[in-house]
Amino acid sequence: MDQTQHIESLCKKISQNSDQQAFKELYLAYFDRLYKFAFSILHSAEFAEEAVNDVFLNIWQKRSTLKSITNLSSYLFISTKNTSFNYLSKFRKERNASFEDVLVRFEVDELTPETAFFTAEVRNEIEQAINQLSPKTKLVFQMAKVEGMKYKEIAEIMNISVNTIDNHIATAVKKLSYILKDLTAEDKNLILFQLFTKPGKINSK
């Protein structure tokens, strides 16, 4: 049984039998990813954990509807995004917080293991370049590269078009190309290839 089938099996047990063990497995399967996503928005370990727990509490309370969710991963990320924005609105006493209100932080260590082969100087330059991007572009990069999501999934979560995802990635490539301009063309192209064209990750639309 592959991961997708396993998740579907867990959802079925939760939905039909209120299976608490299956719910615990589902929670553990997604918690780390959702927590990192919430933390990137909220910058608080406590509130990020609370946001994710709120999402799963809602899942449990409405468990009978689980079978009607066609893409659970996207649903969970959208719910986490919305819950995190609700927290932001509450903190700032503002309505309708959005990505423009978020100060997203990014660390190069979150990337794939290939970055371990970059020099400390290059790693620092990459991190600085990414952190100069807009919050939306940074989150798109994070979901595509770190989470390995397909463009369609990211577009659904961010509520933007796939073409806009392409534009965000192009912006990230342009920014990194400029920051790494002093490297040889070969080294720069190798780094950009490793960051943006990993098979099965950012390429998948």
**Domain-embedded: residue 97:** no
157 in the same domain as 113: yes
Give the pLDDT of residue 57: 97
141 in the same domain as 70: no
124 in the same domain as 81: no
Query: How much is the CA Rg of the chain, to the nearest whole Å?
Result: 18
8 in the same domain as 80: yes
Domain containing 176: what range? Answer: 104-196
**Domain-embedded: residue 98:** no
Give the span between the Cα atoms of 201 and 147, in whole angstroms: 8
Give the span between the Cα atoms of 130 and 59, in whole angstroms: 34
CA distances from 80 to 50, 51, 167 (A): 10, 7, 24
12 in the same domain as 35: yes
139 in the same domain as 58: no
pTM value?
A: 0.75
Sorted by sequence, the CB contacts under 8 Å of residue 133 that are 6+ apart come out as 141, 171, 172, 175
CATH number at residue 75: 1.10.1740.10
Give the pLDDT of residue 198: 46
Give the pLDDT of residue 203: 43
78 in the same domain as 9: yes
113 in the same domain as 67: no
| Domain end marker among 59, 92, 125 | 92
Give the pLDDT of residue 100: 54
What is the residue-averaged pLDDT of the chain? 80
Give the pLDDT of residue 131: 76
Q: Using an 8 Å Cβ cutoff, are 97 and 88 in contact?
A: yes
Low pLDDT (below 50) residues in the chain: 198-204
Q: How many CB atoms lie within 10 A of CB 182?
A: 8
Give the span between the Cα atoms of 7 and 16, in whole angstroms: 14
**Domain-embedded: residue 99:** no
Give the pLDDT of residue 17: 94
Give the pLDDT of residue 200: 39
CATH number at residue 158: 1.10.10.10
The 10s digit of each residue's pLDDT in 116-168 is 566 777 777 777 777 778 878 888 887 887 777 888 889 998 888 999 998 98
124 in the same domain as 167: yes
| Domain end marker among 34, 58, 92 | 92
**Domain-embedded: residue 63:** yes
Count how many domains the chain has.
Answer: 2
Give the span between the Cα atoms of 176 and 172, in whole angstroms: 6
Give the pLDDT of residue 15: 94
Give the span between the Cα atoms of 25 and 21, in whole angstroms: 6
Give the span between the Cα atoms of 187 and 192, in whole angstroms: 9
Give the pLDDT of residue 135: 79
| Domain end marker among 72, 92, 112 | 92
